[in-house]
Structure formats: structure tokens, C-alpha cells
């Protein structure tokens, strides 16, 4: 039970306030990014410095996008945005634990191999870049 109390304390102290205070422009899907950028481009092309509100297709967040090309040097564009949480998306809190259910997101962890100088090889275990003539990794001993 102590783990649930700790989790509840962490949620109420750190995470829940973050949900209500998010000010960064966050878009969950690539097609939403394109939709926002198309709207910003259209607004700037027509001389409108404030594009219309573009709702997220997921129904969870709606983004309010503001663009301005007047303050910074020519050619630069400043984007400011807010995330407004849709109240219908708020999950009810469990009365026993005091914690709202978390959304589970699948993550694929595909390690990337570092790119080294020509002839170097990256260890499959630790990704250390070894010299081309080494038969085993200099860091972990894994065979090439």
C-alpha cells in the first residue's frame, strides 16, 4: 500500500499540475502537425497574424495557435501556443486510491547505431565505436 501512496503523492504533487499548466505547443500526430503548419502558412500568406483555432483530431486537446512575423528579424517566425485540455477527456479519480487511470502508450525502443569514422564499428551491446581492426569491443568485450 505504501507504493500506491507514493504514486498518489507524486501524481498530485508533480504530474497533475503539469497537465493543467502546459503552455508548450504539443501535437500528438504528424498529420496534426501538418494541419497546424498549413493553417499558419495560410494565415501568414493572407496577412492574418492570428490563425483560427485548430482542434486536435483526437478530441483530447485543442491547440490555439498564434503566429507572428513582425517582431523578429525578417525571415524568422515565432510560434506560440497553448494546450487547452478538453474537460470531457478528464478521467475520473479512483475513490480508493485517489489516482486517475493513466493512458498506456506503446513505445518501440529500437537502439540507433552511432555513426563513426570510416572503418569504425559500433558494438551491438554497448554501441561503443571501436577501431576497425578490433575483433572485440574495447569497452564490454563483445565479439564483433
Per residue in 38-54, pLDDT (tens digit) is 777 777 777 765 555 54
Does 70 share its domain with 13? yes
Does 114 share its domain with 76? no
Domain assignment of residue 54, yes or no: yes
List Cβ neighbours of 108 (8 Å cut-off, separation of 6 or more). Answer: none
Domain count, the chain: 2
Does 59 share its domain with 16? yes
pLDDT band at 143 (very low <50, low <70, confident <90, very high): very high
Percent of all residues in the chain with a pLDDT value above 70, rounded to a whole number: 29
* pLDDT average, residue stretch 69-85: 51
Does 76 share its domain with 125? no
Eight-class DSSP state of 135: S
pLDDT band at 125 (very low <50, low <70, confident <90, very high): confident
Domain assignment of residue 104, yes or no: no
Q: 63 or 101, which is more confident? A: 101
- With a cut of 60, say whether residue 57 has pLDDT above it: no
Domain assignment of residue 98, yes or no: no
Domain assignment of residue 91, yes or no: no
Does 127 share its domain with 76? no
Q: Looking at residue 127, what is its pLDDT? A: 86
| CA dist list (Å): 68 to 27, 41, 73 | 19, 11, 11
Domain assignment of residue 30, yes or no: yes
Domain that holds residue 134: 110-144
Does 42 share its domain with 6? yes
Amino acid at each position: 500500500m505504501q507504493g500506491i501512496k507514493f504514486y498518489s503523492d507524486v501524481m498530485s504533487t508533480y504530474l497533475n499540475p503539469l497537465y493543467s499548466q502546459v503552455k508548450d505547443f504539443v501535437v500528438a500526430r504528424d498529420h496534426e502537425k501538418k494541419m497546424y503548419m498549413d493553417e499558419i502558412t495560410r494565415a501568414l500568406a493572407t496577412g492574418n497574424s492570428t490563425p483560427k483555432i485548430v482542434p486536435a483530431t483526437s478530441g483530447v486537446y485543442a491547440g490555439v495557435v498564434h503566429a507572428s512575423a513582425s517582431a523578429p528579424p525578417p525571415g524568422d517566425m515565432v510560434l506560440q501556443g497553448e494546450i487547452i485540455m478538453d474537460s470531457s477527456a478528464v478521467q475520473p479519480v479512483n475513490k480508493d486510491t485517489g489516482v486517475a487511470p493513466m493512458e498506456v502508450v506503446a513505445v518501440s525502443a529500437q537502439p540507433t547505431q552511432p555513426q563513426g569514422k570510416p572503418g569504425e564499428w559500433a558494438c551491438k551491446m554497448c554501441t561503443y565505436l571501436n577501431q576497425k581492426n578490433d575483433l572485440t569491443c574495447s569497452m564490454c568485450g563483445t565479439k564483433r
